[in-house]
Structure 1
C-alpha cells in the first residue's frame, strides 16, 4: 500500500502530459493531411510552419505547468510518449514504411526538448532547495 500512492502521484501527471500532447497534436497537425502543390510543381507539406510552432508552444506550456507543480519526470515521460503515440497514429498509413523514421525523430525531439525545458524550469522554481 505504501508504494501505491507515490506511483499514482507520478503516473497521473504523466498521463495528463501525454494526453495534452496527443490533443495538441490533433488540434495543430492532425487535421491537415494534404500536400500543397506550388505553381512550379514542387510539393510541400502537409504541415505549415505556423502549425508546428503552435504545437511546440502548446506542448512547452504544458511541460512548464507540469514542472512548476513539481512533476519533472512526469513532464518529460508523458510528453515524450504522447508525441510518439500521436505521430505514430497520424503517420501509420504511410505506404513507404518510412513513417517510423519520422516517429523516431519526433520522439527524440520531444524527449530532448521537454528535458531541456524541464531542467530550466526546475532550476528556476522558487520552492526548489539550493542544495539537494
Structure 2
C-alpha cells in the first residue's frame, strides 16, 4: 500500500516537529544551573523533565512503528531531537555542545530503534491472523 506523497511528507514533518515542540515544552524553558551549598553545580535539567520528554516523544514513535513506518519514526524523531538540542545549546561558547548534540542524536537513534522493535513485536502478536492464513 503506497501513501500519497503529500500525506507522507506531512506525516514525516509531524514526526519531526513533535520532538522539537516536546523539547521546548519540557526542557527549553529551563536554562539555569543549580548551585548547591557544597559548591557543586547541576542542571539545567531535572530528571523529571527528561523523563517527560522521553515519554512524550515515545507516543508518536510507538504510533508510527505500530503502522510500520519505521524509517519515519526513527529518522524524523532523531532529526527533530537533534535539531532541538543543537538550537538550544548552540550558545555555548566552549563549543562542547557539539558533543552533547552528537550524544542526543546517537541516543535518540538507538532509543527510537529499540522502541520501534518493541512496538513491532507487540503489535505483530496482537493482530489477528488473516482468514487465508492458518494460525500457527
Gaps of 5+ in 1: none
**Per the alignment, do residues 39 and 32 of structure 1 end up closer, same or farther by CA in structure 2, a change over 3 Å counting?**
same
Quote the Cα distance in structure 1 between the aligned partners of 2:35 and 2:82.
28
Show the 5 A alignment for 1:97-108: 97-108=95-106
RMSD: 1.9
Gaps of 5+ in 2: 130-136
Structure index of larger Rg? 2
State the Cα distance separating 1:30 from its structure 2 match.
Answer: 0.3
Quote the Cα distance in structure 2 between the aligned partners of 1:86 and 1:128.
39
Q: Which of residues 49, 52, 55 is equivalent to 2:50?
A: 52
Give the TM-score of the pair, scaled to structure 1.
0.87
Aligned length in residues: 126
Q: Whose RCO is larger (CA < 8 A, sep 6+)? A: 1
Q: Which of residues 22, 25, 39 is equivalent to 1:24?
A: 22
